[in-house]
A = this chain, B = another copy of it.
Amino acid sequence: MSASRDRLPDFEAVRDAAARIAPYARVTPVLRSALLDALVGAELHFKCENLQYGGAFKFRGACNAVWALNDEEAACGVVTHSSGNHGNALALAAATRGIAAHVVVPEGAVRAKLAAIERVGAVLHRCAATQAAREEAAARVQRDTGAVLIHPYANREVMAGQGTAALELLSQAGKLDALITPVGGGGLAAGTAVAAHGLDPALTLYAAEPEGADDTARSLAAGTRVTSLSPETICDGLRALIGERNLEALREHRVEVLRVSDAETIAAMKLLWSELKLLVEVSSATVLAALLKRREVFAGRRIGVVLTGGNVDLDALPW
């Protein structure tokens, strides 16, 4: 079972996910802004996953993974390690099925996100902020409780669930020329690629990545997964290294990675807040930063833009 859980989803899996999560997930609105269109020189369609249940697209993947379990698997609950949004999403998803959720959280995670996870009733397990410490703590919880590990981005059902945002966006906005999402671990980027090309193979796909956590750009350039990098970026949601299968999906679907600095991202975040009247978290603003930085790439095209989350600590804004 765990081997099949790591495979890439196909388009059919994304469509199954859409049907599976429909009773629980929100159909989020798509917003426009004349000013942002003018600044980028393109027609931007913002898919507002910050308005998704739990404040991030992550609920889609977590919900699909939770409801894809059979009753026996579900009985002992689920566990994950996550810097915040996936943990919160998994807690919410587990609650929709009435099963236990264990969330391993690294030191330094955003306070507002942890408070939200606890509110939903999940059990928090704290650990050091390294990938190894997270995985070890999650393995311990698995052994102790029998809970099923739902990986934040390498899990097949998680990727399929994340792909449903693109499915929805394309049905709401009509024909688009390109889609752009942020890329961290690559769950959203991979799911989006599968969903988008399932509907329209002509779509061009982009992913925005912080310069200080550009393992995806480096991995694509090197032809092999670069794991030696220590992420340094303000984008707390994009510090994970890209997963092996996620990278494979990005390569297969020819996703172009655009690198942006934290300063560009913070400026873009403020602009998104002012113009869309939406709370958009810093990781999520990388996409607008990339659109503004690479105007020549997007000029005159109809672009779908996934705003991934809105879980922000209002007492610690980055400007």
Residues of A within 8 A of B (CB): 29, 31, 35, 50-51, 55, 112, 119, 270, 273-274, 276-279, 310-311, 314-315, 317, 319
**Complex contact B310–A315 (CB within 8 A):** no
A55 and B50 CA atoms in complex are apart in Å by: 18
Whole-angstrom CA separation of A274 from B278 in the bound complex: 11
Cβ contacts under 8 Å, A277 to chain B = 50-51, 55, 278-279, 310-311
Nearest B residue (CB) for A271? B314
Chain B residues near A310 (CB, 8 Å)?
Answer: 277
Which residues of B sit under 8 angstroms from A317, Cβ to Cβ?
Answer: 314, 317
**Contact residues in B for A319 (Cβ distance below 8 Å):** 314-315
Contacts of A55 in B (CB 8 A): 277
Given contacts A50-B277, A51-B277, A277-B310, list 7 more A-B pairs with CB under 8 A.
A29-B51, A112-B274, A270-B314, A274-B314, A277-B279, A279-B279, A314-B319
20 A-B contacts, Cβ less than 8 Å apart? A29-B29, A29-B51, A31-B51, A50-B277, A51-B276, A51-B277, A112-B274, A270-B314, A273-B279, A273-B314, A274-B314, A277-B278, A277-B279, A277-B310, A277-B311, A278-B278, A278-B279, A314-B317, A314-B319, A315-B319
Q: Determine how close the nearest CB of chain B comes to the CB of A91; give it in whole angstroms.
A: 13
Give the residues in chain B near A29, CB-CB below 8 Å.
29, 51
> Smallest CB–CB gap between A119 and chain B, Å?
8
Measured between beta carbons, the chain B residues less than 8 angstroms from A279 are 273, 277-279
- Residues on B with C-beta less than 8 A from A51 are 29, 31, 276-277
Give bound CA distance, A314 to B275, whole Å. 11
Bound complex: CA of A279 vs CA of B50, how far in Å? 12
With both chains docked as a complex, state the minimum distance between the C-beta of A159 and any C-beta of chain B, in angstroms.
24
